[in-house]
C-alpha cells in the first residue's frame, strides 16, 4: 500500500501540514485511499461542527438578553392594553344585570 506522503497527490506544506489533491471520483490509486479520504472528510466535518458550537456558546448570552427584553416589552404592552379589557368586562357585567 502506498503511503500518503509518498503519493503524487499529497503535498507537504510548511509546518508539516498535508494538502491532498486526490479526488475519490477520478484519481484514487488504491482502495485504502477512499477510507483515508472519508476519515479526512469526517475530521473536517467535526471541526466545522465544533466551530459552530463555539459560536452558539458565544451567542447564547445575547439570545437570553434579547428574549428577556422581548418578554418585558410584551408584558408592558399587555399592561397598557389592560384598560380596554377592563372596560369590556364592566360592560358585559352591566348587560347581564
Mean pLDDT of the 79-85 span: 77
Three cell numbers written together for 12? 507537504
Is a pLDDT exceeding 80 seen at residue 85? no
Helix, strand, coil percentages in the chain from 3-state DSSP, rounded to 5:
75, 5, 20
What is the reported pLDDT for 30? 84
Is a pLDDT exceeding 70 seen at residue 97? no
Residue 8 burial (10 A CB sphere; 0-12, 13-18, 19+): exposed
- Per residue in 12-71, pLDDT tens? 888 888 888 888 788 888 888 888 888 888 999 999 999 999 999 999 999 999 999 999
Amino acid at each position: 500500500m502506498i503511503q500518503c506522503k509518498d503519493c503524487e497527490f499529497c503535498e507537504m506544506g510548511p509546518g508539516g501540514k498535508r494538502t491532498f489533491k486526490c479526488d475519490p471520483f477520478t484519481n484514487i490509486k488504491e482502495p485504502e485511499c477512499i477510507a483515508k479520504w472519508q476519515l479526512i472528510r469526517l475530521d473536517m466535518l467535526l471541526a466545522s461542527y465544533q466551530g459552530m458550537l463555539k459560536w452558539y456558546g458565544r451567542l447564547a448570552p445575547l439570545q437570553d438578553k434579547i428574549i428577556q427584553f422581548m418578554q418585558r416589552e410584551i408584558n408592558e404592552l399587555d399592561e397598557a392594553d389592560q384598560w380596554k379589557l377592563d372596560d369590556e368586562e364592566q360592560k358585559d357585567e352591566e348587560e347581564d344585570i
